[in-house]
Amino acid sequence: MRKGSIVENLNSVTERIITACRSCGRDPAAVTLLAVSKTRPAEDIRTAFAGGQRDFGENYLQEALDKQAELTDLNIVWHFIGPLQSNKSRDVAEHFDWMHTLDRLKIARRLSEQRPQGLPPLKVCLQVNIDGEDTKSGVTPEQLPALAAAVAALPNLELRGLMAIPAPRAVTEDQRAPFVQLAGLLDELRRQLPEQPLDTLSMGMSGDMEAAIFSGATIVRIGTDIFGRRG
Ligand SMILES: *Cc1c(COP(=O)(O)O)cnc(C)c1O
């Protein structure tokens, strides 16, 4: 994509975040824009970085590692937001700052064991299958308390919050319900685990960002509206 368009898009997404925050009385500084760069070349990340963007999200591990190798000169905060097989956990433990899609204790244990000693704990969000879809990853709300307690006890992970990808809904009013539900689950977790820094709701994509912000999102994951439609 044209460099100018990426930076223009970044600016207009940032404006949308500010407008959404104003209209619901939130501080725009409380919402982090995560640029989802899956399928995009390293050059597009470099362009967005030059435009001021620091947080980038990747779904496919090998693709992410290849791009990271090209971008070692940039101080990027890397977020893993895709499905992870347990035999690939070491790459995430070694090369990412955040992991949004944790939904299995086995993988959590491996990530904690494999996190290199020189790095801060890996920040993690637990993925919740908020609409109970057969095809989607994530734990059910019923499974959440046990997984959260077990993850919170692992030394090299920092449990920060929850992530969800709701089923698509066209109308903003309908989009809010699953986000409000996820926010409620985070409130319950805060009561359950008062010692944990549970400050993160990773929710909202290009099509439902405003609804997510109205419902308390602290990280919005935006791909299409920054980098254009994926091929
Ligand atoms: C691709 C992806 C996004 C970005 O989606 P857009 O609709 O392109 O903004 C966000 N979150 C996850 C988990 C994704 O896989």
31 lines ligand 1 (CB under 6 A): no
Best residue among 79, 205, 226 to mutate for probing ligand 1's pocket (most ligand atoms within 8 Å of CB) is 205
Alpha carbon dihedral 25, 27, 28, 30, in 10-degree steps, equals: -130
Nearest ligand 1 atom to alpha carbon 165: 13
**Res 3 pLDDT > 80:** no
**Res 2 pLDDT > 90:** no
Give the distance from CA 143 to its chain's centroid: 20
Please answer whether residues 138 and 177 qualify as being in contact, where contact means their C-beta atoms are separated by less than 8 angstroms: no
- Look up the CATH number of the domain holding residue 119: 3.20.20.10
CA-closest residue to ligand 1 atom 7: 206
**Res 9 pLDDT > 90:** yes
* SS3 category, 154: coil
Best residue among 81, 209, 213 to mutate for probing ligand 1's pocket (most ligand atoms within 8 Å of CB) is 81
pLDDT tens for 122-140 read 999 999 999 999 989 999 9
pLDDT tens for 32-72 read 999 999 999 999 999 999 999 999 999 999 999 999 999 99
User: How many H-runs (helices) and E-runs (strands) does the chain carry?
Assistant: 9, 8
Domains: count for the chain: 1
Please answer whether residues 220 and 204 qualify as being in contact, where contact means their C-beta atoms are separated by less than 8 angstroms: yes
* SS3 category, 58: strand
Write down the H helix ranges in 133-171. 144-152
Question: For the stretch 92-108, what's the b/e string if a residue is b when 16 or more beta carbons lie within 10 angstroms of its beta carbon?
Answer: bbebbebbbbbbbeebb
Angle between the 144-152 and 105-114 helix axes, to the nearest 10 degrees? Answer: 10
* Band (231; pLDDT cuts 50, 70, 90): confident
222 lines ligand 1 (CB under 6 A): yes
Q: For the chain, what is the mean pLDDT? A: 97
Domain around 150 = 3-227
39 lines ligand 1 (CB under 6 A): no
**Cα(120)–Cα(49) distance, integer angstroms:** 23
The closest of 150, 167, 164 to 216, measured between CA atoms, is: 164
